[in-house]
Amino acid sequence: MSRLFLACLLAIFPVVSMKSPIFGPEEVTSVEGRSVSIKCYYPPTSVNRHTRKYWCRQGAQGRCTTLISSEGYVSDDYVGRANLTNFPESGTFVVDISHLTHKDSGRYKCGLGISSRGLNFDVSLEVSQDPAQASHAHVYTVDLGRTVTINCPFTRANSEKRKSLCKKTIQDCFQVVDSTGYVSNSYKDRAHISILGTNTLVFSVVINRVKLSDAGMYVCQAGDDAKADKINIDLQVLEPEPELVYGDLRSSVTFDCSLGPEVANVPKFLCQKKNGGACNVVINTLGKKAQDFQGRIVSVPKDNGVFSVHITSLRKEDAGRYVFGAQPEGEPQDGWPVQAWQLFVNEETAIPASPSVVKGVRGGSVTVSCPYNPKDANSAKYWCHWEEAQNGRCPRLVESRGLIREQYEGRLALLTEPGNGTYTVILNQLTDQDTGFYWCVTDGDTRWISTVELKVVQGEPSLKVPKNVTAWLGEPLKLSCHFPCKFYSFEKYWCKWSNRGCSALPTQNDGPSQAFVSCDQNSQVVSLNLDTVTKEDEGWYWCGVKEGPRYGETAAVYVAVESRVKGSQGAKQVKAAPAGAAIQSRAGEIQNKALLDPSFFAKESVKDAAGGPGAPADPGRPTGYSGSSKALVSTLVPLALVLVAGVVAIGVVRARHRKNVDRISIRSYRTDISMSDFENSRDFEGRDNMGASPEAQETSLGGKDEFATTTEDTVESKEPKKAKRSSKEEADEAFTTFLLQAKNLASAATQNGPTEA
């Protein structure tokens, strides 16, 4: 017994717990002899497109008997007057029934599969008797809010008599309008009688802005006596048959509204009607919007009074009847033309859930995930800002093809990642003006349009970067971004912003960050290094975090690239360097020429002395070196004087040397021998005594006295030789001293600048 109960419970459980995704009209009315067309919607999945569709009639026991199906079955009662057509592309099928009779009234179901599965929708069909046939009246049908003209013929005998129109009630016929000018309060400013001429035997009654209450039986009359001409009129006011609109949860729908050119300049409205209650305005062209639809609805005017109303991010409570109308106050009112829809929201949706609200701090950033139909991967993608003051107009801020509004450059990017049905929008450097609603849009399936609300709150940005950076052309640059501990496990990146996204750049992890005093070593600094800055490196750079394919917070910094400007001190140093270099070069030249020509110093002294302030300029010398030339002259003049003194000293030494030559007596004549012919005095003495004994030396020198004299002269000549070098050595020593002094003067001039030199 328990198993049987459980089986029954499981059999009915899907019907009880799950709302059917099949949708159709709740009520259908018609008149005998006419026809109806009933459209039913279903989710256009691959299985649903090919499964069985049916139309069945509910019996007293709840059983539904199939009357017609998509597999070709047609009941005997429907043969020749009904058919079922499937439209798999749009996810609909239509049941057409003609030659209606009163017996066709009842409750029906349109569904998929087997009638007991619960994939169906209840439809009530009511077929009434044609009132014109019952009363033999002239029938006039008119749409709600439109104009009807009733023609009333009369005989010539009553041509001069009063014409009138009255509406029948249970007990009487109250006057609506007559030819004397009377108009009932209920028809004031809406009804009048028109007679085209005295020869015309017809008068017309015109009723504008027909209301539902205007429906009923009327009597058209010419004359007041028993011979009056009377005609019964049946006025039928037709409410607009609601057009069925099928939308998935979180998707978007569009109502295309057209009321005709006669109300093109009249304010428009869209209202929602639930459970038979009043119709509450959702949006109108006077600026009103319902709170529940803030940021999700927009009306777009078109030509000839045509409007399109878009509702995005559908909710379950959005289901119901919608009425679009024209009325001076932008409010629903009986007697004005309207258009109606019945919206069904399917809770079985393929559109993924995404946050309806994102929050960011001032100066921080937000990241928005935008869904789109995966089949539209190659379609253009947009992000727009919903403007309440402009009837919900949504101007584009950025698009995937590179367009971006100027005020959003450097702070807004649309990224195609992660792909496969989702793209990403990042907005940083947030301000209070960024608060509001934004739409994700593509050129593809408009049902995937979604809405997100952005709120800017108090707080500090998580990522720390410099606001603006100046980089020098040709020099390296390092940009550092500080990440707090909560992003320790996230991927960090640097990228360069452009109007087509943000291109990733190689980064370097610099270890723990000191910017977060409350953090531990898990906080990090990630740097971007540019070895040699070029002008193309100028622009916006972002640092940010990622967790898998999902982007997180970002921070932006602008890098300006400039050429480094040299100051006055730098210019002075630059000019001093060539002067010092010229002095050192000139000193080397002097050294080389002096080695070849000892009289060079005297010549240079005379030449530099002649080149004073009044000397003509060298035409071959560049003008830029005038300061260096003056410095060179002021340096070489005293240098030349020193050189002249050196030359004089060398000359004196040589003169003294010629007077002090050694004299050696050999027997009867004297021979002068210059000391420069020997290497030094020691060599001379050694060679003089080599291979001779004292005796032979004494005999050859001719006696003791002569030897003593010779010895004395020899001793006198030895003593100065020990304190004095050869003339060649002394000249070399003097020239070396001169070169050292010249080099020191050149170095001093280089260090102290031209003025000191």
pLDDT tens digits, residue range 411-465?
Answer: 999 999 888 899 999 999 999 999 999 999 999 999 999 999 999 999 999 999 9
Residues in CB range of 194: below 8 A, 6 or more apart: 203, 204, 205, 206
Secondary structure (3-state) at 373: coil
- The answer to whether residues 389 and 287 touch, using CB atoms and an 8 Å cutoff, is yes
Kindly report the backbone phi and psi dihedral angles of residue 564, in degrees, each rounded to the nearest multiple of 5, phi listed first. Answer: -70, 130
DSSP string covering 284-303: ETTS-B-GGGTTTEEEEE-G
pLDDT at 133 over 90: no
> 586 or 26: which carries more pLDDT confidence?
26
Domain 131-238 maps to which CATH number in 1.10.8.420, 2.60.40.10, 3.40.50.300, 1.10.10.10? 2.60.40.10
State yes or no: cis peptide before 418, omega within 30 of 0. Answer: yes
Contacts for 623 with CB less than 8 Å, ≥ 6 apart = none
Q: Which residue has the higher pLDDT, 150 or 658?
A: 150
- How far is residue 34's CA from residue 82's CA, in Å, rounded to a whole number? 12
In this prediction, residues 570-591 reach a mean pLDDT of 40
pLDDT confidence of residue 274: 83
Whose CA is closest to 234, among 106, 101, 128, 159? 128
Whether 90 and 107 have beta carbons less than 8 Å apart is answered as: no
Give the C-alpha separation, 48 to 348, whole Å: 13
User: Within a 13 Å sphere around the CA of 722, how many CA atoms are in the beta-carbon half?
Assistant: 6
Residues 415 and 551: beta-carbon distance below 8 Å? yes
Give yes or no for residue 609 having a pLDDT over 50: no
pTM: 0.65
582 to 118, 589, 594: CA distances (angstroms) = 104, 10, 18
Both tokens assigned to 650 = 């060398």
Band of pLDDT at residue 678, cut at 50, 70 and 90: very low
DSSP state of 296: T
Q: What's the pLDDT band for 511 if we cut at 50, 70, 90?
A: low
Amino acid at 292: D
Measured CA angle at 648 (ends 646, 653), to 5 deg: 95
pLDDT digits (tens, 9 = 90+) for 623-670: 433 444 444 445 565 666 667 666 666 765 565 555 444 443 333 333
Give the Cα-Cα-Cα angle 286, 292, 293 (nearest 5 degrees): 50
pLDDT exceeds 80 at position 613: no
Q: Which fold has domain 366-457?
A: Immunoglobulin-like (2.60.40)
Topology alike, domains 131-238 and 469-510+520-562: yes
Q: Are the CB atoms for 210 and 191 separated by under 8 Å? A: no
Tokens of 609: 């002395």
**Rounded CA gap, 731 and 619, in Å?**
39
DSSP tag of 261? G
CA separation for the pair 462, 402 (Å, rounded):
29
Grade residue 719 by pLDDT with cuts at 50, 70 and 90.
very low
Which fold does the domain 469-510+520-562 belong to in CATH?
Immunoglobulin-like (2.60.40)
pLDDT band at 492 (very low <50, low <70, confident <90, very high): very high
Q: Which long-range contacts (C-beta less than 8 Å, at least 24 apart) are formed by 84-89?
A: 84/53, 84/54, 84/55, 86/53, 88/44, 88/49, 88/50, 89/44
* pLDDT value of residue 250: 94
Q: Which one has a higher pLDDT value, 582 or 387?
A: 387
Nearest to 424 by CA among 239, 334, 548: 548
Question: Is 539:485 a contact under the CB 8 Å cutoff?
Answer: no
What pLDDT score was predicted for residue 395?
Answer: 93
Decide if 234 contacts 131 (C-beta within 8 A): yes
Query: Two tokens at 307?
Result: 């409007």
Residue 349, both tokens: 């949706």
What pLDDT does residue 348 have?
Answer: 86
- Phi, psi (degrees; rounded to nearest 5) at 488: -60, -40
Q: In the predicted model, is pLDDT for residue 590 greater than 90?
A: no
Q: What tens digit of pLDDT does each residue of 313-324 get?
A: 999 999 999 999
* Confidence (pLDDT) at 44: 87
State the average pLDDT over residues 601-624. Answer: 42
pLDDT value, residue 515: 54
pLDDT in tens, 529-560: 989 999 999 999 999 999 998 999 999 999 99
Q: Which of 49, 89, 48, 84 is nearest to 69 (CA)?
A: 84
Give residue 294's pLDDT. 93
Give the residues across from 265 on adjacent strands: none
Predicted confidence at residue 724, as pLDDT, reads 46
Mean pLDDT value across residues 679-688: 39
User: Residue 155 is which amino acid?
Assistant: T
Q: Can you read off the two tokens belonging to residue 648? A: 């004089």
What residues have CB less than 8 Å from 84, skipping those under 6 apart? 53, 54, 55, 68, 69, 70, 93, 94, 95, 96
Better-predicted residue by pLDDT, 217 or 632: 217
Residue 556 contacts residue 542 (beta carbons within 8 Å): yes
Token digits of residue 34: 């006419």
In the chain, domain spans: 27-128, 131-238, 243-346, 366-457, 469-510+520-562
Q: How far apart are CA 418 and CA 295, in angstroms?
A: 26
User: For 566, which DSSP code?
Assistant: P
Judge whether residue 118 has pLDDT over 70: yes
Element (H, E) at 120: strand 120-128
**Residue 331 pLDDT > 90, yes or no?**
yes
- Give the model's confidence band at 714: pLDDT under 50 very low, under 70 low, under 90 confident, else very high: very low
Predicted confidence band of residue 137 (pLDDT cuts 50, 70, 90): confident
Which of 190-199, 290-299, 645-654 bottoms out in mean pLDDT, i.e. has the lowest? 645-654
Single-letter code of the amino acid located at 615? A
Dihedral pair phi/psi, residue 591, rounded to 5°: -60, -45
Q: What is the mean pLDDT of the chain?
A: 78
**What's the length of the chain?**
757
Where does residue 252 rank: exposed (0-12), middle (13-18), buried (19+ CB within 10 A)? buried
Which residues does residue 503 pair with via DSSP β-bridges, in sequence order? 496
> Do the beta carbons of residue 676 and residue 626 sit within 8 Å?
no
162 burial via Cβ count (<10 Å: 0-12, 13-18, 19+): middle
pLDDT number for residue 380: 94
Whether the CA torsion 649, 655, 658, 659 is positive or negative: it is negative
AA identity, residue 446? T
pLDDT at 12: 41
Alpha helices, DSSP H only, in 457-560? none
Residue 747: half-sphere exposure toward Cβ, Cα within 13 Å: 6
pLDDT at 276: 75
Residue 701 pLDDT more than 60? no
Residue with tokens 């980064």: 507
Name the percent of the chain lying above pLDDT 90.
Answer: 54
Cα–Cα distance between 465 and 470 in angstroms, integer? Answer: 14
Q: Does domain 243-346 have CATH number 2.60.40.10?
A: yes
Query: Quick one: which of 366, 339, 371 has its CA closest to 353?
Result: 371
C-beta separation of 290 from 283 below 8 A = yes
Band (pLDDT 50/70/90 cuts) for residue 620 is very low
Average confidence (pLDDT) over 141-145:
93
Nearest to 52 by CA among 117, 113, 110, 116: 113
Token pair of 311 as six digits:
């509702």
Top-ranked range on mean pLDDT: pick from 16-25, 85-94, 709-718: 85-94
Other CB atoms within a 10 A radius of the CB of residue 120 amount to: 25
Domain over 27-128 is classified CATH 3.40.50.300: no
Mean of the pLDDT values across residues 664-684? 37
- pLDDT-derived band at 736 (thresholds 50, 70, 90) equals low
